[in-house]
Amino acid sequence: MRDNGTIKQDLRNYILSEVLPGESPANLKDNTPLRTSGVLDSMGLLGLVSFVEEQYSIELEAHETGIDNFDTIDSIASLIETKIAGRDKA
Amino acid sequence: MTKIDSVASDLASCIESSARLFPDRRAIVNPDGSAVSYGELNAKADRGAAFLVAQGVVPGDRVGILMPKSANTVTAMMCILKAGAAYVPIDWTAPVERICAILKDCQIRTLFIDSRLATSIKVAEAGVEHVIVVGQGTGTSERTRQSRWDDAVNHTESVSPRSERGSDDLAYILYTSGSTGIPKGVMISHRNAVSFVDWCASVFHPSPEDRFSSHAPFHFDLSVLDIYLPLRHGATLHLIDDETGKNPKALAAFIASQRLTVWYSTPSILHLLASFGHLDRYDFSSLRLVLFAGEVFPVKHLRQLTKLWPKPEYYNLYGPTETNVCTYSPVPLPIPEERTEPFPIGWPCAHCAAAVLDPRENLPVRKGEEGVLYIAGESVFKGYWGRSNETNAAFRNADGQRWYSTGDVVREDPEQGFIYVGRRDRMVKRRGYRIELDDIECALYGHDSIREAGVVAVNTEAGDTQIVAHIVADKEPPPDILQMKMFVAKALPSYMSPDIFIFHKRLPRTSTEKVDYQSLKQLQQRLP
């Protein structure tokens, strides 16, 4: 079982190592905009989506990874929680 | 058995012969699934050409196209060619300054523009006198002369569009990144383009049953094959919009559902398809040809793709925009597990001649030695628009031919043909785009707290190109990496954004006080 805090930590670790190598972890906040700021471009997004899908055995549709639910660690983590809940119910 | 005219002297007649032979066949399928037949395409283009002529467009004029990809965009190209003018496809997603720089550079007076863009770009200030607005909308608020697309392609006056079209006339101009940050226009004649399309036909054997992908944007030279090879041979062109083009899952579903037979793109996109497209979920049995160009395809990624798509034939096509494809090499399958070196760029195409020269002495190297690849032949461009000095510098005259210096270093292998070694200058390719590393440095210097910047490209173990920015900040602590990423995202297209930022107290220098790029590259390789 993964709680919200663990999911955020997973996301933070992935982004720091793949997108922001060398960055101090303290600078990446849960509400740092990733897409709208240009930190994560379309290629970076694909990598993150694939990481999330494998890590949590869920599948994300294109419309789910828009800027509304996929811009910050906060919003991505809550999307993942919703998807996990949906998966476990099914 | 119907036969395609064996000789076409210009690009518009490619479409005309298909319209005679296959008036009812589908020529172009839009991203939304709607289709245009050959008869319709040709008739619209004839009327649109007559309209342009009536509006004062004369042979030799450059007519701009600022539209997302659609059948209308291809129709606009045909209108322009049939009017004897040259088209200039402009990246509609580019920053406005870049768009205006292109409009001004080749003095575009007539412009096809999508209505959604017409209000946001002040084209009159860039010298445009007449816009043809495509799509629903109000058009521009500027005092430019305006026409509607529907009026253009339904023009009924009998002005003959058949002004003399010569094979050495300019057909189109494609803008590529220039070393100073200002794009430069590569001028391609009808002869240049037709010789390339004819060579493609001799190797890839297109038939009216083929369904071609159009993945590359129209301002990219890959689109020349996409558009003209199917249209010349009565096949169908399937347009892929930007959104689908960047989404591997949607793209995989598209290729399967449209039963595409020929795919052409950069290796980056094919790698994404193999990694994220869930290719094992679909039926790709229609796919017979996979062509790639624009950058080196790391063997690891290519092997992964060929395992998922074992049936098609694969070809590595090589050539800068200035020559279009000039060497090629089929990829033998299966790819051995132990192979790590990329596939060769192969032997020259039938319409090209190649020579490997030592640039210091302008003499051929001995067979097998490294040198700069020069290309001569029918597909070699006329020159850069309005830049005679750069045009002259790009060519060398010998044996009664003009030889274009590609700037690419190669060596010849007796079995495999040419092997790509690297660049002479500081240009690199990533995701199929040409990138001048100096341009990235220029942008970094725009940041208030950056004193020095040295940007290098390194190859990862998997064979990908990684851009590393080495920076000396003006004060301590240096700006954080997030800030740097955000700053760069505002200044440069995303494909130019460095992957890694490393801060230093000072940059290594050569004995002549230049930034020592070789040391910077090695520095990166020693990092974990």
Which range, of B76-90, B262-276, B417-431, averages the lowest pLDDT? B417-431
- For B220-282, give the DSSP string: STHHHHHHHHHHHTT-EEEE--HHHHT-HHHHHHHHHHTT-SEEEE-HHHHHHHHHHS-GGGS
For residue B237, what are the CA distances in angstroms to B82, B208, B218, B248, B445? Answer: 20, 11, 13, 20, 44
Are B324 and B395 within 8 A, CB to CB?
no
Of the partner residues A19, A22, A46, the one whose CB lies closest to the CB of residue B502:
A22
For residue B97, what are the CA distances in angstroms to A73, B62, B184, B239, B418? Answer: 34, 19, 14, 27, 39
Question: Would you call A23 and B272 a contact, using CB atoms and an 8 Å cutoff?
Answer: no
* pLDDT reported for residue B141: 62
Question: Would you call B489 and A39 a contact, using CB atoms and an 8 Å cutoff?
Answer: yes
Q: Is B462 on the interface with A (CB under 8 A)?
A: no
Of A62, A65, A66, A60, nearest to A84 (Cα)?
A: A60
Instruction: Tell me: pLDDT of B138 over 70.
Output: no
Percent of chain B at pLDDT > 90 equals 70
Mean pLDDT over A10-26 rounds to 93
Distance CA B191, CA B204 (A): 20
- The alpha carbon of residue B236 is apart from the nearest alpha carbon of chain A, in Å, by 27
Fold of B345-423: Luciferase; domain 3 (2.30.38)
Those residues whose C-beta lies under 8 Å from the C-beta of residue B13, and which sit 6 or more positions away, are B5, B165
Q: Which residue of B has its CA nearest to A24?
A: B480
* pLDDT reported for residue B528: 44
Percent of chain B at pLDDT > 70 equals 94
Tokens 């010998």, residue? Answer: B398
Q: What is the pLDDT of residues B368-386, one digit of tens each?
A: 999 999 999 999 999 999 9
Question: Would you call B482 and A22 a contact, using CB atoms and an 8 Å cutoff?
Answer: no
Q: Which of B247, B467, B481, B524 to mutate to test the interface with A (most CBs of A within 10 A)?
A: B481
Of the partner residues A20, A42, A50, the one whose CB lies closest to the CB of residue B485:
A20
Q: At what angle do helices A73-89 and A4-18 cross, to 10 degrees?
A: 130
Of the partner residues A27, A41, A42, the one whose CB lies closest to the CB of residue B482:
A27
Q: Which of A41, A53, A61, A63 to mutate to test the interface with B (most CBs of B within 10 A)?
A: A41
Q: Is B494 on the interface with A (CB under 8 A)?
A: yes
Q: Is B278 on the interface with A (CB under 8 A)?
A: no
Mean pLDDT over B291-315 rounds to 95
Instruction: Tell me: pLDDT of A2 over 80.
Output: no
* pLDDT reported for residue A4: 86
Instruction: Tell me: pLDDT of B142 over 70.
Output: no
Highest mean pLDDT among A21-30, B90-99, B181-190, B518-527: A21-30
Fold of A4-89: 1.10.1200
Query: A22-49 b/e with 16+ CB inside 10 Å = b?
Result: ebeeeebeeebbbbebbbbbebbbbbbb
Which range, of B148-157, B205-214, B278-287, averages the lowest pLDDT? B148-157
If one counts every other C-beta atom within 10 angstroms of the C-beta of residue B312, the result is 20
Instruction: Tell me: pLDDT of B365 over 60.
Output: yes
CB-CB neighbors (< 8 A) of B499 in chain A: 21
Of the partner residues A23, A43, A62, the one whose CB lies closest to the CB of residue B482:
A23
Q: What is the pLDDT of residues B486-506, one digit of tens each?
A: 999 888 888 899 999 999 998
Comparing A17 with B158, the larger pLDDT belongs to A17
Q: Which residue of A has its CA nearest to B499?
A: A19
Which range, of B7-11, B81-85, B156-160, B363-367, averages the lowest pLDDT? B156-160
Chain B (238-277) residues lying within 8 Å, Cβ to Cβ, of chain A: 246-250, 272, 275-276
* pLDDT reported for residue B81: 96
Mean pLDDT over B155-162 rounds to 66
Instruction: Tell me: pLDDT of B527 over 70.
Output: no
Instruction: Tell me: pLDDT of B2 over 50.
Output: no
How big is the A-B interface in CB pairs under 8 Å? 52
Are B34 and B25 within 8 A, CB to CB?
no
Distance CA B253, CA B327 (A): 31
Phi, psi of B184 (to 5 degrees): -120, 145
| pLDDT range class, residue B1, cuts 50, 70, 90 | very low
Question: Would you call B481 and A27 a contact, using CB atoms and an 8 Å cutoff?
Answer: yes
* pLDDT reported for residue B511: 77
User: B427-526 maps to which CATH number?
Assistant: 3.30.300.30
Q: What is the ipTM of this complex?
A: 0.84
Fold of B11-245: Rossmann fold (3.40.50)
CB-CB neighbors (< 8 A) of B488 in chain A: 38
Q: What is the pTM of this model?
A: 0.86
Mean pLDDT over B173-179 rounds to 79
Q: Where are the domains of chain A?
A: 4-89
Instruction: Tell me: pLDDT of B180 over 80.
Output: no
Q: Which of B242, B433, B466, B485 to mutate to test the interface with A (most CBs of A within 10 A)?
A: B485
If one counts every other C-beta atom within 10 angstroms of the C-beta of residue B442, the result is 16
CB-CB neighbors (< 8 A) of A62 in chain B: 247, 249-250
Comparing B352 with B526, the larger pLDDT belongs to B352
CB-CB neighbors (< 8 A) of B502 in chain A: 22
| pLDDT range class, residue B251, cuts 50, 70, 90 | very high
Distance CA B31, CA B144 (A): 31
Instruction: Tell me: pLDDT of B140 over 80.
Output: no
Of B265, B307, B269, nearest to B289 (Cα)?
A: B265
Question: What does the mean pLDDT of chain B come to?
Answer: 91
Q: Where are the domains of chain B?
A: 11-245, 345-423, 427-526
Of the partner residues B250, B482, B497, the one whose CB lies closest to the CB of residue A62:
B250
* pLDDT reported for residue B431: 85
* pLDDT reported for residue B185: 96
Distance CA B369, CA B418 (A): 11
